[in-house]
Structure 1
Amino acid sequence: MLFASACLLGTGCVNQTVKSTSVPPIATAQEVVTDELLLDVGIAVFDPGLDEVPDDDEQPVYTEVRKAEARFMPNQLAQAMQQSGAWGAVRVVPDPERVSDLSVHGKIVHSDGERLELRITAVDSRGYEWLDKGYESHASKYAYKTTTRNSHDPFQAVYNTIANDILQAQQKLREQDRMNVRLVSELLFAQEFSPEAFDGYLAKNPSDVYLVMRLPADNDPMLERVRTIRERDHMYIDTMQAYYDNFGEEMLDPYDEWRRLSYEEVVAMQELRAESQRRMIVGAIAVAAGIAGAINSDSYGEAAASDVAILGGGYLFKSGLEKRNEAQIHVQALEEVGLSLESEITPQVIELEDQSVTLKGSVDDQYAQWRSLLAEIYATEIGSLEQPETIGAADTL
């Protein structure tokens, strides 16, 4: 059951628990807008949250699995957002600082197949915060049955809820707001490639929100080249999106199997720990009672009964320790599952050719090389063009 309301535009942090057995439908836009007003969304590869993992043997975290999840989960969210038909392009981006009309960032707080906890923020290019919210869901015992796994992700309710919350924030925008968001995105991109030429077009107010101070002419040659460069960047990101799609498809089967086994191991460990604790508590009480009885006993029969209580309590306490050792075996089995998945889902090297340039390394490395190449292309094309013309001052946002 959803027990917290959706984050309003510009509101503070809240948390929400999502019932995974009931997947909410994707909401659709209340009003139809023109293509020019549709906002593009960049969902950055999630923070795997490895820096804040507690050193706790009872909750092992597998580094490579978590890194793979950080690429898999944003793609699941992107697909959910696209279903609403309320956005322009929704892309997974390798660079969290890449300029988008709306930038979505996520952090994996916890993920073990039984429980998923995410922290999601969404900020538009102007600097307005749309969402800052925690989401948590526990998978049901039916989540990993074959029929359920074929229809949707075990935590699909989380992705749909996030998509709906972001859409709810979008519904509060006026048409002018949308135009301003897209304008600021274009100017920020232009400043990245030519900071001197486009200096002074944007300024920040005391709330750290961008204001448009002036505009270049629509027919300005530098702006035209920036738009061409930006279109090339979009095309490259679309190519990278195909990578994330393929990665998700290749990862799905082994990842679902890992989550299924992880779910079973987590549930088994919880049951074993509970049983171990019960046995140790009962055993400790029995031992204490037996000792007290032996001290205060007045007859041989009472002393014998106390001895039996001590022995019985000791057995229960020892049994509780054995149950803990059995739980540790499950932890080790879970680690083996994670290590086996690790080798199956590690991304492969991708090579892309553009103008006889081969981009090598990880996705992040390739994108960094691509941006460097774009800067070279822009510098070559811009040549000795004059500074862009301006057309008065724009209204502040």
Structure 2
Amino acid sequence: MQTSYKQNRALAWCANISRVFAWTLLASTIILAGCNTTNRTNNQPLLVGPSPAVPNAANDQQGPTELVNAEIFLDVAIPAFDPGFPLDNFGEIDGDELEEQGIWPQLRRTEAKIFAADMKAALDDKKVFGTVSVVPDASTPSDLFVLGEIGKSDSEEVEITITVADSTGEIWGKESFEHTVSQGFMRDQRNQGKNPYEPVFKRASDYVVSLLSKLSIDEKTYIKNMSLMRYARYYSPESYDDFINTDLKRKNGQRYYKFELTKLPDPNDPMLKRIEDLRAQELLFVDRLQDNYEVFQAETREAYGTWQEETLPEVIAARKAKTERNTKAVVGGIAAILAAILIAKSAEKDDRPSDQKALEIGAVAAGIGSIWAINESFKNNSRLKVHSAVIEEQGQALDLSVSPTVIDFENQTIELQGTAQEQYLQWKTHLRKMFNEEDTPDVQL
């Protein structure tokens, strides 16, 4: 009976340890999952469209919404996507998190431009907008802005967040979209040359169109009037400040600047006519930039497609290795705890040799299991480093380079140099300078 009692106690201990093991494994799984999440904060209010400075808040007032055209097509601007880099508490890029999440900054910055071009292609296919343009930043004059942020992109999984806002500053909506590329996608010859991420941009474009469908003709006209007046105020705030009121608002936790028209100027206003000419020149430059983006996309598409094709199996293998490593590390740690508990229990009763023997055998077995599992986790960690190195090697410096641009305008030849954003800023600065020179009369001393 004594031996049976000891065996029952041993079985009870094993049952308790099993329950501890199950709860610890569940808690560890939750903790490991939580470690993959990085919070990014942005305290700046959303501001789209041309603005001479951060506007002052003012009272709301509904302005005119006259119907000027029965066929209203809103123009769309798509800035390069936010790369979605993890930030530290000071708003700086967190290098440790970059490594943890497997983000290579140069590649991600290139994807930010590629994804903007992919979004443009998806919206162009809808044929319900005016011009759809990839632009260097959100200060471009436009009716509608589609702002994207990359949440994840590792050739297997892609996640983007789209924010849609119009020239009044109103946020139409914000939505995240994700897609997982199957390994078989690359093996199918019919998919050769296709974009494996295309479904995510199709769903995002469907979302933008669904928001557009809710607008009336009057609302579209109001947005177009606002686009023009904000551009006019950008050039001559002293002349057009009274035409627009500005307020700081919040929607779904997002702060943004909301603009309200109070009135419209005389259609024959000579200054407005001049500003419209300058806006046409700026938009012409944006249109020319599309050629550069198309060349960029053509030059990088093959290299980027090769990177996706070559790294997809490596990413899948790395993910499996990491999962296996984490699981074995948890199992190994719990097994080591189990071994220590069993050894401690075996030492409690020195006068029970048969029971002690059974417990010590269990302790040795658990100890061996913990050592094996931890060693295996290290082996898998080494393999993970190899997989990551392959991915890093494949994703080397791809970036947008723009050749110098020469523009002839009003008997002047202007040469612009640098990146697309730098050239665009140079051109905006030149247009502003021309306007200021014409607006300032000659003074005879």
TM-score, length of structure 2 as denominator length: 0.71
The residue identity in structure 1 corresponding to 2:429 is: S
Say whether residues 1:298 and 2:340 are aligned partners: no
Q: CA deviation at 1:151?
A: 5.8
CA RMSD of aligned residues (A): 2.7
Q: CA deviation at 1:199?
A: 2.7
CA deviations 1:241-270 (Å, max 9, x no partner) are: 111111111111111122233322221122
Residue 199 to residue 309, structure 1, CA distance change in 2 (3 Å): closer
Residue 251 to residue 290, structure 1, CA distance change in 2 (3 Å): same
CA deviations 1:176-205 (Å, max 9, x no partner) are: 111111111001111111222223111235
Task: State the distance in 1 between where 2:149 and 2:387 align.
Answer: 27
Say whether residues 1:375 and 2:424 are aligned partners: no
Match of 2:77? 42
Q: Where do 5+ consecutive residues of structure 2 fail to align?
A: 1-67, 88-92, 250-256, 347-351
Task: State the distance in 2 between where 1:309 and 1:372 align.
Answer: 72
The residue identity in structure 2 corresponding to 1:211 is: E
SS at match of 1:121: strand
**Alignment check: 8 A CA contact 1:142 1:148 kept:** no
**Alignment check: 8 A CA contact 1:225 1:381 kept:** no
CA deviations 1:299-347 (Å, max 9, x no partner) are: 69755676465445423331222112221221222222223xx1xx222
- In the TM superposition, 1:1-397 aligns within 5 A as 37-52=72-87, 55-56=96-97, 57-145=99-187, 147=189, 149-150=191-192, 152-204=194-246, 207=249, 208-284=257-333, 296=346, 298=353, 307=364, 310-339=367-396, 342=397, 345-355=398-408, 356-382=413-439, 384=441
Higher mean displacement: 239-248 or 255-264: 255-264
**Alignment check: 8 A CA contact 2:183 2:313 kept:** no
SS at match of 1:198: helix
**Alignment check: 8 A CA contact 1:41 1:89 kept:** yes
Task: State the distance in 2 between where 1:68 and 1:205 align.
Answer: 35
The residue identity in structure 2 corresponding to 1:41 is: V
**Alignment check: 8 A CA contact 1:122 1:130 kept:** yes
What's the % identity of the aligned pairs? Answer: 26
The structure having more radius of gyration, on CA atoms, is: 2
**Alignment check: 8 A CA contact 1:75 1:244 kept:** yes
Task: State the distance in 2 between where 1:183 and 1:218 align.
Answer: 12
SS at match of 2:241: coil
Q: CA deviation at 1:144?
A: 2.7
The residue identity in structure 2 corresponding to 1:38 is: F
Q: CA deviation at 1:214?
A: 2.2
Residue 298 to residue 96, structure 1, CA distance change in 2 (3 Å): same
CA deviations 1:355-389 (Å, max 9, x no partner) are: 3221111111111100011112323455659xxxx
Residue 239 to residue 279, structure 1, CA distance change in 2 (3 Å): same
Task: State the distance in 2 between where 1:129 and 1:363 align.
Answer: 27
CA deviations 1:84-117 (Å, max 9, x no partner) are: 1100000011122222100121111221112212
Higher mean displacement: 295-304 or 36-45: 295-304
Task: State the distance in 1 between where 2:266 and 2:188 align.
Answer: 58
SS at match of 1:236: helix
**Alignment check: 8 A CA contact 1:225 1:382 kept:** no
